Amino acid sequence: MGVRFLRLAIVWLLLLATAWVAEPYLAGLWFSASVPRTVTPRGDLAASEQATIALFKNVSPSVVHVFARATPSASLFSDEQESVVQSGSGVIWDTAGHVITNNHVINGTAQIGVRLTSGEFVTARVVGAAPNYDLAVLQLERPTSAWRPIAIGRSADLQVGQSTFAIGNPYGLDQTLTSGIVSALGRRLPSGAAHEPTGMIQTDAPINPGNSGGPLLDSAGRLIGVNSAIISGSGASAGIGFAIPVDIVNHVATELIRNGHVPEPGIGIVAAKQGEATRLGLDGVIIVRTLPDSPAAKAGIEGADADGVVRDVITEVNGKPIHSIEELTSIFENAGIGNQITLTVERDGQRRKVTVAIADVSQLSQG
């Protein structure tokens, strides 16, 4: 009896082991989808998805791909991709074929071309550039496609938390849509220029190289900013992107189209970041350097020396305390080009008053 039971047990164990080994093969044989699977009905798209799809369809024809080459060649759009030194995005501004992009996209180049959403390539020329705002206006030449100017919104009434959408050409990938929110407002973008852009829109909508010059949109598909820069250790999107507010873009674009440049009231100084003044325990605007032949230079105002030692700090304007370059820039704009202001300048603990005339510093050399 015991031997028979043992034999039966061994047989069952062998059968179970065989079934365990064969199970994947049998399942593959019996349950494999040998014909196309039946599609499961999805139902309607969510309202938010439908809105985003409509936004992209409406706005994408207004977004272009900008190419620029340092040296002219027979064709900007040849297969010699290594000769295309700069690439970015742009927005169609009006029915005359003006395109807004970043100045750094086309700066230092001799040949510019644009690819429209239709796939058509057209050449373009620079109408005007405003390096201190990182904006430029291009004129498209002899296209066959109709223009689709982008809808313009406002940036003055934006609120942190609003939805944002960016369309551009990151890494050369045409017509890429990303989304996020307004992360912060009123940011200052360090650029090293005499006029560092202020009031910038910060967004976490992914912005990468190639998005520069493309639109930042609100949920209504209106332009609220022109994407300009990112903060990233790797050069890729880290969720901190900056856009030039559309209210500034509107003003600058109008001046560039009308006059070819943007008059910029100032005295020709480059100021340190506010955090540097705080670190040094100084209250005022630290002068890093002055531009050659500027009102500040002619008035004897000096920047930091070669060792980085601070020389001059502007502490008052017309007898009123000043704490930041943003306040000082606002005073320049309110006073206007050609008018004079009185600065209180501190050097080595000594204060002196200096009268300077506000000039158009957009034409001054940055050297």
Q: Would residue 104 show up in a list of annotated catalytic residues for this protein?
A: yes
State the Cα–Cα distance between residues 18 and 16, nearest whole angstrom: 5
Range 64-87 average pLDDT: 69
- Going from N- to C-terminal start, the domains of the chain cover 49-141, 163-259, 265-363
What's the pLDDT at 27? 66
- If you ran DSSP here, which 8-state letter would residue 53 be given? H
C-alpha distances (whole Å) from 200 to each of 94, 130, 183, 187 are: 24, 16, 11, 5
Selecting among 65, 89, 98, 104, the annotated active-site residue is 104
What's the pLDDT at 13? 79
272 Cβ contact partners less than 8 Å away, ≥ 6 residues apart: 285, 286, 287, 288, 304
DSSP codes, 234-268: SSS--S-EEEEEHHHHHHHHHHHHHHSS---EE-S
Residue 366 has pLDDT above 70, yes or no: no
What's the pLDDT at 194? 47
- Check if 49-141 and 265-363 are the same fold: no
3-state secondary structure of 330: helix
pLDDT band at 84 (very low <50, low <70, confident <90, very high): low
Domain 265-363, CATH class in plain words: mainly beta
Summarised one tens digit per residue, pLDDT across range 254-276 is: 999 998 888 888 888 888 877 77
The sign of the torsion formed by the CA atoms of 157, 158, 159, 163 equals positive
Answer whether 109's CB lies under 8 Å from 129's CB: no
What's the pLDDT at 30? 66
Residue 72 has pLDDT above 80, yes or no: no
pLDDT band at 178 (very low <50, low <70, confident <90, very high): very high
**What kind and span of H or E run contains 22?**
helix 2-31
Average pLDDT, the chain: 84
What's the pLDDT at 181? 95
Of the candidates 257, 272, 162, 174, the residue with the CA atom closest to the CA atom of residue 218: 162
Listed in order, strand segments (DSSP E) in the chain are: 63-69, 86-92, 98-101, 111-115, 121-130, 135-141, 163-168, 176-187, 200-203, 215-217, 223-230, 241-245, 265-266, 269-271, 285-290, 313-317, 320-321, 340-347, 350-357, 359-360
The answer to which of 75-89, 90-104, 218-232, 330-344 has the lowest mean pLDDT is: 75-89
What's the pLDDT at 125? 93
Domain 163-259 has CATH 2.60.120.10: no
Q: Would residue 212 show up in a list of annotated catalytic residues for this protein?
A: yes
Pick from 126-140, 219-233, 281-295 the range whose average pLDDT is largest: 126-140
Q: Scanning the structure block, which residue is given the tokens 């230092």?
A: 108
Selecting among 62, 89, 212, 237, the annotated active-site residue is 212
What's the pLDDT at 77? 55
pLDDT band at 18 (very low <50, low <70, confident <90, very high): confident
What's the pLDDT at 171? 83
In percent, the amount of the chain with pLDDT more than 70 equals 86
Which CATH code fits 49-141?
2.40.10.10
State the Cα–Cα distance between residues 30 and 325, nearest whole angstrom: 75
pLDDT band at 21 (very low <50, low <70, confident <90, very high): confident
Torsion of CA 201, 206, 209, 215, to 10 degrees: -50
Q: In terms of C-beta density within 10 A (0-12 exposed, 13-18 middle, 19 or more buried), how is residue 96 classed?
A: exposed
What's the pLDDT at 234? 55
What's the pLDDT at 182? 94
What's the pLDDT at 333? 81
Length of the chain: 367
- How many Å from the N-terminal Cα to the C-terminal Cα in the chain? 106
**Structure-token pair, residue 240:** 């901190």
Summarised one tens digit per residue, pLDDT across range 289-338 is: 888 888 888 888 888 887 778 888 888 888 888 888 878 887 888 888 88
Selecting among 62, 134, 183, 195, the annotated active-site residue is 134
Range 39-62 average pLDDT: 92
